[in-house]
Amino acid sequence: MDLNTRGVVSYLLWPVSGVFYVLSKIRRSLYHFGIFRINRFKVPVVVVGNITVGGSGKTPIVIKLVEYFKQQGRRVGVVSRGYGGSHTNASLLVNADTNALVSGDEPLLIATQTQVPVMVNKCRSQAVQDLIEQHQVEVVISDDGLQHYAMSRTVEIAVIDGHRRFGNGFFLPAGPLRESLSRLKSVDFVINNGSVFPGEISAQIKPTHFVNLITGEKKPLDFFSHQTCHGVAGIGHPQRFFQTLMQLGVEVQQHEFTDHYQYQVKDLEFDDNHPIIMTAKDWVKCRDFANEKMYYLEIDLDISDDFFTNLTAKI
């Protein structure tokens, strides 16, 4: 769909967006005035979410927060809805051996990279309670859930894609907004992932290594420079990943899949012997049929120390 067609469709859907906007306001008010019940907990809950659909880079921030609290000596756990996974009954404790088809890719990635308890439940409040009771956590981080108002929270962090920001500014389904821009005034922190904007905390994702899916061997960032490679991405914003590879000197043959895509072996069968590079989120879904040609790009997150100091003061 070209830009002109998307623009026409967005305007045609604008009346539906108006209904979505009104319903979102009513729903939040029902929790605010105590008509709908809010579940409260004895430990701090930090929500990392956004006001738009699509990938804004929440998961790297969740992982960074987990690492920070672990360094502080605090027992930390993560809750997630498990989007894209098949699990629906009660809570599921995710570990490195969990199948991504069951848990969803993001919970599995977080569990694999942080080694902390990650609990998946469509009802986030129940996941939080189960983490507290079963694992005696002292801090809970919710991967997404800014709009899950039944779950009380101590700190709200809204993440913004620094390049796409709020798209056309329309509500679903005509645009990407889940809530109005005024919602950002009520959160504790607004993190700008990938750019700089006044009043927002700048965070930059930086690549660190290429990691072989079979051996775990790490290769330096110039390892594939001037080589033709297949770039594979099933994330919210694949072009950002491909651009990163090109900045590293990789001659990328781009293979874009939908967010949370569940890979089959045939998806990664190419008529050549070029290396295949994917994101870490794709890696956890390709482990069972990986081969020696496959690598994922390991990343880290740069964010100011002041952010963590201010966060600690709130919990």
Taking the C-alpha atoms of 281, 145, 78 and 88 in order, what is their torsion angle to the nearest 10 degrees? -80
The pLDDT value given to residue 6: 52
Third-level CATH fold of 3-203+303-314: Rossmann fold (3.40.50)
pLDDT above 90 as % of the chain: 81
Q: According to DSSP H, which parts of the chain are helical? A: 3-12, 14-32, 58-71, 100-103, 105-114, 124-135, 238-247, 280-286, 305-314
The pLDDT value given to residue 265: 95
Give CA–CA dist 222/40, Å, rounded: 49
Find out whether 128 and 45 touch, Cβ atoms under 8 Å. yes
Q: Which residues pair with 161 in a beta bridge?
A: 193
Query: What confidence category does residue 54 fall into, taking pLDDT thresholds of 50, 70 and 90?
Result: confident
| 3-state secondary structure at position 313 | helix
**Mean pLDDT, residues 170-193:** 92
Tell whether omega for the bond before 173 is within 30 degrees of 0, i.e. cis.
yes
**Mean pLDDT, residues 147-169:** 94
Tell whether omega for the bond before 107 is within 30 degrees of 0, i.e. cis.
no
Is a pLDDT exceeding 80 seen at residue 182? yes
Give CA–CA dist 106/244, Å, rounded: 20
Find out whether 242 and 257 touch, Cβ atoms under 8 Å. no
Query: What confidence category does residue 95 fall into, taking pLDDT thresholds of 50, 70 and 90?
Result: very high
Query: What confidence category does residue 236 fall into, taking pLDDT thresholds of 50, 70 and 90?
Result: confident
- Under 8 Å CB-to-CB from 185, ≥6 apart: which residues? none
Short-list 52, 70, 68, CA closest to 60: 68
Q: What is the pTM of this model?
A: 0.91
The pLDDT value given to residue 2: 45
Identify the residue whose tokens are 């899950």: 148
Give CA–CA dist 46/301, Å, rounded: 18
Give CA–CA dist 140/132, Å, rounded: 8
Q: By 3-state DSSP, what share of the chain in percent is helix, strand and coil, each rounded to 5?
A: 35, 25, 40
The pLDDT value given to residue 8: 58
The mean pLDDT value of the chain amounts to 92
CB-count exposure of residue 203 (10 Å: 0-12, 13-18, 19+) = buried
Give CA–CA dist 195/111, Å, rounded: 28
The pLDDT value given to residue 7: 57
**Mean pLDDT, residues 238-247:** 95
Residue ranges of the domains in the chain?
3-203+303-314, 206-301
